[in-house]
């Protein structure tokens, strides 16, 4: 009989201790401690996500940006049909003139350091590193294209080669790349 009474007392102590833990946990969440969540009485106005450029290349750069950087008028950027996350700006007033010089912005999205380095090694015509733009950048004079990586965000800005003459053609694209970096969240 003594063993049963001790066993019952042990079970009772376990149940009581467990109940005390549950009650203490519940009360801790109801207190006015530093982790208390207070909801506003009125809805807070926020900026619409459609106001932010996100990864939309036609919102990350404008025709005014391109015109200012290259010193000539450009039409409003238009998405490139069949190319995800690419915007094209044509010199002149018409966004569809096939003979007009072009500037494109292509958002690559998430890129790893390894994939960025692989792109650098496989770019036709060789590339040169560009300092002071993102975490890493390189330029292909043959393609008139500047690739940029910041963290895992990658993109490239390209121009018809006549718009970015050598030497130092990348100097005309760097201001556009910096605008993209400033505007991307």
User: Taking the domains of the chain in order of start, what are their residue ranges?
Assistant: 1-37, 49-183
Task: Round to whole Å and give the CA distance between 27 and 24.
Answer: 5
Higher pLDDT, 23 or 5: 5
Most distant pair of Cα atoms in the chain: their distance? 102
User: What's the chain's average pLDDT?
Assistant: 80
Query: Residue range 154-182: average pLDDT?
Result: 96
Residue 52: predicted pLDDT: 52
**Whether residue 27 has pLDDT greater than 60:** no
pLDDT digit string, tens, across residues 92-136: 988 788 889 999 999 998 999 999 999 999 998 889 999 999 999
Question: End-to-end alpha-carbon separation of the chain, Å?
Answer: 72
**Whether residue 28 has pLDDT greater than 80:** no
Q: Which of 25-34, 60-69, 79-88 has the lowest mean pLDDT?
A: 25-34
Confidence of residue 1 (pLDDT cuts 50, 70, 90): low
Asked whether the whole model's pTM tops 0.75, one would answer no
Confidence of residue 53 (pLDDT cuts 50, 70, 90): low
Task: Round to whole Å and give the CA distance between 147 and 107.
Answer: 10
Residue 97: predicted pLDDT: 84
- Name the E strands within the chain: 78-79, 86-90, 102-110, 128-129, 136-140, 145-150, 153-159
Angular region, 16: left φ>0, alpha ψ -120 to 50, beta rest? alpha
Partners of 159 in the β-ladder = 103
């Amino acid at each position: 009989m003594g063993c049963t009474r001790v066993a019952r007392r042990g079970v009772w102590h376990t149940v009581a201790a467990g109940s005390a833990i549950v009650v203490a946990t519940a009360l801790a969440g109801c207190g006015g401690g530093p982790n208390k969540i207070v909801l506003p009485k009125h809805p807070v106005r926020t900026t619409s996500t459609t106001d932010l450029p996100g990864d939309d290349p036609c919102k990350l750069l404008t025709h005014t940006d391109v015109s200012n950087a290259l010193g000539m008028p450009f039409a409003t950027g238009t998405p490139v049909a069949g190319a995800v996350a690419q915007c094209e700006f044509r010199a002149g007033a018409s966004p569809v003139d096939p003979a007009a010089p072009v500037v494109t912005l292509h958002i690559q999205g998430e890129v790893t350091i390894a994939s960025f380095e692989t792109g650098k090694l496989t770019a036709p015509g060789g590339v040169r590193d560009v300092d002071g733009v993102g975490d890493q950048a390189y330029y292909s004079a043959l393609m008139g294209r500047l690739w940029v990586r910041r963290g895992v965000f990658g993109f490239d800005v390209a121009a018809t080669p006549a718009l970015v003459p050598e030497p130092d053609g990348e100097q005309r694209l760097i201001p556009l790349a910096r605008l993209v970096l400033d505007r991307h969240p």
